[in-house]
Amino acid sequence: MQRWPLRQVAFIGLGLIGSSLARLMRERGLVERITASSRSQQTLATAQQLGIIDIGYSNPADAVRGADLVILAMPVNATEAVMAAIKPALSSSAIVTDVGSTKGNVIAAAKAVWGHVPENFVPGHPIAGSEQSGVMAGRADLFSAHKVILTPLEHTRAEAVALVTAVWQAAGADVMTMSVTQHDAVLARTSHLPHLLAFSLVDTLAQESDNLDIFRYAAGGFRDFTRIAASDPLMWHDIFLANREAVLSALDAFEAGTKRLREAITTENGDALLGVFTRARAAREHFTHMLAGTAYAKSMTQNKELRFTVEPGGTFTGRARVPGDKSISHRSIMLGSIAEGITEVSGFLEGEDALATLQAFRDMGVVIEGPNEGRVRVHGVGLNGLKAPPSTIYVGNSGTTMRLLSGLLSAQAFNSVLTGDATLAKRPMERIAKPLRLMGADIQTTGERGTPPVTITGNTKLSGIHYDLPVASAQVKSGVLLAGLWADGTTSVTEPAPTRDHTERMLRGFGYDVKTDGATASLQGGGSLKACKIDVPGDISSAAFFLVAASIAPDSDLVLEHVGMNPTRVGVINILRAMGGNIEVLNAREVGGEPVADLRVRSAELQGIDIPEDQVPLGIDEFPALFIAAACANGVTTLTGAEELRVKESDRIQVMADGLLTLGVSALPTVDGIVITGGPISGGEVISHGDHRIAMAFAVAGLRATDTITIRDCANVATSFPDFIGLARRCGLRIRASEHDLH
C-alpha cells in the first residue's frame, strides 16, 4: 500500500493534464508540497493563485530539486530538452513519469540523455485529454473512470511502477500496462488518426469558397465528428511527428477503406455500402463486450453484477407476447447468409445469443440490415460466398452458435477460431468436433475436456457420413447437417430421441431437400438455398417461465400469444398438463413451416409426477422452470434421464438443487436428474451462476414465496429474454433489477 502524503511532487508543465493531476493530488492530500515549472510566468502565477502549486520556477531543474516524484506534463517534443535540464538536479531516489501521448519517442529521448532508460522512469499516458487546454481548464476529476496506460520496460523498478500506479488509481483511473510499441500502434488508430481526420475535414471545408454556408448549416454530424479539431495544434503537431510510422500505417488502412467506399458509390454498389455501415455500427457495441469477455447485454457494465429482487406473492394475469424463438432466430441468420438472395426475417429475437450469431456472419462479410423491432434483412452470399473473419469469432454465451458454426466453418475455405464467455468456455465441444472429424474436418478443441476455443483449419474437403448421435442433441445434429451442405455425397444423422427439428424444417423452407425417415435426417451436399421470408414465433422456452408462473400463482389467468408449438419443443406443456396444469391451446395455426398457437393458462393445483423420460429432449431447456412448478406441487416429482442438464450454461441440476434448498424446498440431485418434494418456499438469496434460465426460474418462484428472494448474477437473462423484467412485471411479478459493484 502506498503511504501518503508524498513530501514533494514536481510538475513540469501545467497544462490540462498536469494541472488536473496537481489539483487532484492537492485536494486528496496526497502530497505536502507541489513545485512546478512552466515556460509561462502567467501560468505559474495562476496556478499559485488557485492554490494548485506551492512554488513555480521557469527552470525545470529548480522545480525537481528535492522531489520524490517528477511528472513530465509538457508537450512531447520538449521531452529530451527537459530531461537534459533536470538530469543534474534529480535526487537519486526520485521517480519520474510522463504523460505523453506517444511513448517510443519518450523512450528515445531518455536514452539520448542518460544513455539508457533510467530504472526509476515509468513512461505513462492518461487517456483523458479533451479539446480544452491550459491551466484553467484543469479539473481534479478529469481522470476518474478513464484509462491510464503505463509502458514500463523490463528493468523499470517495481516500486516506481507501484507509486505511479497508486497516484493514478487515487485519481480514479483504471491503470493498465502494455509495451511501448503496442501503445503507439493502438493510439495511432484510436486517437491520432481520428484527430488527423477531424483537422483535415475542417480545413478542407474551410478552404471551399462557400465555406460560410457550410459552417452555418453544419448540424450534428459535422459538429460531432470535428469536435476534436479544436484541440491544441502544437501538441498535435508534436504527436504526429513523434508517432510517424504508426500513424502512417493507420492512415494507409483508412485510405484503403475510403477507397472501397468511393468505389462502391461510383459503381452504385449498395450492398457494399450497407455492408460497411451495418458492420461498423455493430462493431462499436461488439468490441466493448468482447473486451469485457461478457455477452452483449447493454446493462452488463464491466465490474457490475445484475441482481433481481422479487417480493413475495401476487397473481399472474393478462396477455403477453414473449420474444422470438432463439433456436429459429439463430438459424434464420445462418441459412439466410448462405442462401442466394435477400432473406427477410420478422420476430427475430434481439437477445444476446442471436445477436452473437448475427455478428459472426457480419464478421464473415455478410450484409445484414437490422435488427429493427424484430425485422432483419440478410443479404445472402450463397454457399461459397462467406469470407474469412478478420479475427477470432466471439459468440458470447451461446452454445448453439458455437456448435452450429463449428459445422458450417469446417467446410469453408478459410481458417477460423471460435471463442466465448467464461460460461461457454466450460462447455463440451468434442461432441460436435468428433463427427466433423469423421467427415474430414480439421477441427481442434482445447484442453483435456475438449472445451472452447475451437480452432478450425479450412480448405479441407468433407465427405458425407452417417452418424449415430450418442446424445440427443439438436445442436450436434444441426452442426453435422450444416457441414453436410458442402460435403460430397449424403450426410445423415440418427438421433436416440427426437430433438428440435428447426434446421431440417428451415432448410426445406429455403428449398433444400432434407429427408426425414424415422429418427434419421439426411441431405445431399452441393445444392443451393433460395432466400425466403421467415416469421419467427414466440419462444416456448421463454413462455415456459410464464406458463409456470400463471400455474403456481393463485387467481391467475394469462394468454400468451403466438407461441411456437413445434412438436419437438412442447415437453413443457405435456409435463405441466401431466402435473394437473390448466393450459388451453387456442388458434393453432402454421406460420412459415412452424406450428404456432396462443396459450391460455390458469392457476392449478399441481401434483408431483415421475416425468416421462421421452419428454426430456422435448423440454430440455424448460427444466429450471419446471423444477419451480415441482416445488409448488403436492408430493414428489422425479426427473431421470436428464444428465444433459449438467452441461448447459450451468450444471442446471446442481445449481437448481442448491437454490431450492436455500429456499427451504427439499431437492435431491441425482446423477441424471432430481427428486423434488413440493412444500412452502421461503425467501433467501440464490445464485444463478450466470445462467439465464436459472435466474428466471427463481424469479418466478417469488409468486409463491413467503419472503423476498434475491437472485445473483442475472445479466445473462438478456441472452434469451431481453425484457423479461418488463414483461413479468406487467403480468404481476413483483420484481426489480439493480446493479451492484463486484468485489
Ligand X SMILES: O=C(O)C1=C[C@@H](OP(=O)(O)O)[C@@H](O)[C@H](O)C1
Q: Which of 33, 35, 159, 38 is nearest to 95 (CA)?
A: 159
Active site annotation includes 184 = no
**Least CB distance to ligand X at residue 358 (A):** 15
Cis-peptide, bond into residue 389, ω within 30° of zero: no
Smallest distance from the beta carbon of 353 to ligand PEP, in angstroms? 6
Q: Is 473 annotated as a binding residue?
A: yes
260 marked ligand binding residue: no
**Closer CB to ligand X, residue 292 or residue 471?**
471
- Residue number with CB closer to ligand PEP (98 or 649): 649
Residue 130 to residues 13, 15, 137, 414, 602, Cα–Cα distance (Å): 16, 11, 9, 42, 59
Which residues have C-beta within 8 Å of that of residue 143, sequence separation ≥ 6? 20, 21, 24, 126, 128, 168, 171, 172, 173
What is the number of alpha carbons within 13 Å of residue 240 lying toward its C-beta? 14
Query: Which of the listed partners (ligand X, ligand PEP, none) does 474 bind, with a CB threshold of 5 to 8 Å by partner kind?
Result: ligand X
Residue 398 binds which entry of ligand PEP, ligand X, none, CB below 5-8 Å type-dependent: ligand PEP
* Nearest distance from C-beta of residue 405 to ligand X, angstroms: 12
Compare residues 68 and 621 and give the one whose CB is closer to ligand PEP: 621
Paired residues of 741 in beta bridges? 304
C-alpha cell at 497: 430421441
33 three-class SS: strand
Name the minimum Å distance from CB 695 to ligand PEP: 12
**Alpha-carbon span 362 to 85, nearest angstrom:** 54
Buried b / exposed e across 352-382, counting CB within 10 Å, b at 16+?
Answer: bbbbbbbbbbbbbbbbbbbbeebebbbbbbe
With CB under 5 to 8 Å by kind, the binding choice for 500 among ligand X, ligand PEP, none is ligand X
Closer CB to ligand X, 438 or 647, in the complex: 647
Q: Are 384 and 337 in contact (CB under 8 A)?
A: no
In the bound complex, what is the minimum distance in angstroms from residue 363's beta carbon to ligand X? 20
Residues within the interface to ligand PEP (CB under 6 A): 353, 398-400, 621, 648-649, 693, 720
Burial environment of residue 6 by CB neighbours within 10 A (0 to 12, 13 to 18, 19 or more): buried
Q: Least distance to ligand PEP from the beta carbon of 712, Å? A: 19
Q: Alpha helices of 579-662 — where are they, by DSSP H?
A: 623-632, 652-662
Distance CA 430, CA 243 (A): 46
8 carries a ligand binding annotation: no
Q: Which cell numbers hold the place of 562?
A: 403466438
Q: Which does 473 bind (CB under 5 to 8 A by kind): ligand PEP, ligand X, none?
A: ligand X
Contact 631, 676 (CB under 8 A): yes
Please, are residues 485 and 411 in contact by the beta-carbon 8 Å criterion? yes
Using an 8 Å Cβ cutoff, are 409 and 458 in contact?
yes
**Which residues here bind ligand X, judged by CB under 6 A?**
327, 400, 473-475, 478, 500, 620-621, 644
Residue with Cβ nearer ligand X (8 or 329): 329
Residue 199: Cβ within 10 Å count = 18
**Which residue has 488509481 as its cell numbers?**
169
**In the complex with ligand PEP, which residue's Cβ is closer, 168 or 721?**
721
To the nearest whole angstrom, how small is the minimum distance from the Cβ of residue 686 to ligand X? 22
DSSP string, 417-470: EEE--TTGGGS--HHHHHHHHHTT-EEEEETTTTEEEEEEE-----B--EEE-S
**C-beta separation of 280 from 703 below 8 A:** no
Considering only CA atoms, which of 69, 56, 55, 81 is closest in space to residue 124? Answer: 69
- Let me know: does 510 contact 531? Beta carbons within 8 Å: yes
Please name every residue paired with 125 in a beta bridge, in sequence order, or none if there are none.
Answer: 149
Neighbours of 320 (CB within 10 A): 18
CB of 334 to ligand X, least distance (A): 11
Which CB, 238 or 621, lies closer to ligand PEP?
621
Residue 326 assigned as binding residue: yes
Contact yes or no for 504/530 (Cβ under 8 A):
no
- Stated as kind and residue range, the H or E segment containing 720 is none
The answer to whether the annotation marks 648 as part of a ligand binding site is: yes
427 is in an annotated binding site: yes
Helix pair 233-242, 244-266: axis angle to 10 deg: 100
Rank residues 35 and 400 by Cβ distance to ligand X and give the closer one.
400
Q: Which is nearer to ligand X, 243 or 568 (CB)?
A: 568
Residue 520's φ and ψ, nearest 5 degrees, are: -115, 130
Q: Is 431 annotated as a binding residue?
A: no
- Selected catalytic residue, list 363, 621, 651, 691: 621
130 marked as binding residue? no
State the binding partner of 720 from ligand PEP, ligand X, none, CB within 5 to 8 A by kind: ligand PEP
CB 308, min distance to ligand PEP, A: 18
Whichever of 67 and 674 has its CB closer to ligand X, that residue is 674
Q: Is 93 flagged in the annotation as binding?
A: no
- State the Cα angle at 328 between 322 and 333, rounded to 5°: 120
**Distance in Å, CB of 654 to ligand X, minimum:** 17
Compare residues 57 and 545 and give the one whose CB is closer to ligand PEP.
545
Angstrom distance (rounded) from CA 565 to CA 560 = 12
| N- to C-terminal Cα separation, the chain | 18
Q: Is the link from the previous residue into 152 a cis peptide, with omega within 30 of 0?
A: no
At its nearest, how many Å lie between ligand X and the CB of residue 621? 5
- Could you count the other beta carbons within 10 Å of the beta carbon of residue 266? 8
Which residue numbers belong to the known binding site for 3-phosphoshikimate?
A: 326-327, 331, 473, 475, 621, 648
Active site residues: 621
Which residue numbers belong to the known binding site?
A: 326-327, 331, 399, 427, 473, 475, 621, 648, 652, 693
